[in-house]
Chain A
Amino acid sequence: EVQLVESGGGLVQPGGSLRLSCAASGFNFDRYSMHWVRQAPGKGLEWVSYISTSSSTKYYTDSVKGRFTISRDNAKNSLYLQMNTLRDDDAAIYYCVRDLWSGGDLWGQGTTVTVSS
């Protein structure tokens, strides 16, 4: 089955860290660029980060630059998002999404990040 499965979300205090993971299956993961997209409670979709197939190119939305790091392991068919110095406004559902350039046709079910003391 073609799918993306996120994990790693949870409750973290402001200033803390979390590492999100996304496990891909059913397709050639190394042929697709990947993204993280988030959605705060009651809000719209917000693109967070992009990584190219070879990891040579990475982009971040301004609000997470210097705090979040995207990475991937093609041998393990996995995508990651290391999130440091978390803030209240980082609280959201984080989705792993395949290839937004061509139209994100595959989304994970999402993992919830809660930032609270």
Chain B
Amino acid sequence: QSVLTQPPSVSGAPGQRVTISCTGSRSNIGAVYDVHWYQQVPGRVPKLLIYGYTNRPSGVPDRFSGSKSGASASLTITGLQAEDEADYYCQSYDSALSNYVFGSGTKVTVL
């Protein structure tokens, strides 16, 4: 059972906006620890999508954005494209566990 909770799946038509939530607690997201997001296309290695809640590495399209509110973080894809169909994971650090933690993962389906 993951410390960070994500919805198992979200879907949307091409061009639509979808948001993936990542809910934690006071010992991880609710504390001072950053949240990062990864995209994993089936059969491929995970790729860093967002770091430090809101920052995009070079080469990541600006249709991907991140935010934080309290003990939760969100990843938004604005203008969904077929190539965005993948699994998405949030990741942070948990001080109560002294562990790094991943969310349970969300499968994005483009209808």
Residues of A within 8 A of B (CB): 35, 37, 44-47, 50, 59, 61, 95, 100-105, 107-110
CA distance A102 to B101 in the complex (A): 13
CA distance A110 to B40 in the complex (A): 13
Q: Which of A101, A102, A109 contacts B45 (CB 8 A)?
A: A109
Q: A-B pairs with CB below 8 Å: how many?
A: 61
Show 14 A/B contacts (Cβ-Cβ < 8 Å), sorted by A. Answer: A44-B87, A44-B104, A45-B38, A45-B89, A47-B99, A95-B45, A101-B34, A103-B50, A104-B36, A104-B38, A104-B46, A107-B46, A107-B47, A110-B45
B91/A44 in contact, CB under 8 A = no
What is the interface of chain B mostly: helix, strand, loop, or mixed?
A: strand
A44/B102 in contact, CB under 8 A = yes
Residues of B within 8 A of A (CB): 2, 34, 36, 38, 40, 45-48, 50-52, 55, 57, 87, 89, 91, 93, 98-105
B45/A107 in contact, CB under 8 A = yes
Complex contacts, B87 vs chain A, CB 8 Å:
44
Q: Which of B47, B48, B99, B105 contacts A59 (CB 8 A)?
A: B99
B101/A47 in contact, CB under 8 A = yes
Distance in Å: Cβ of B69 to nearest Cβ of chain A? 20
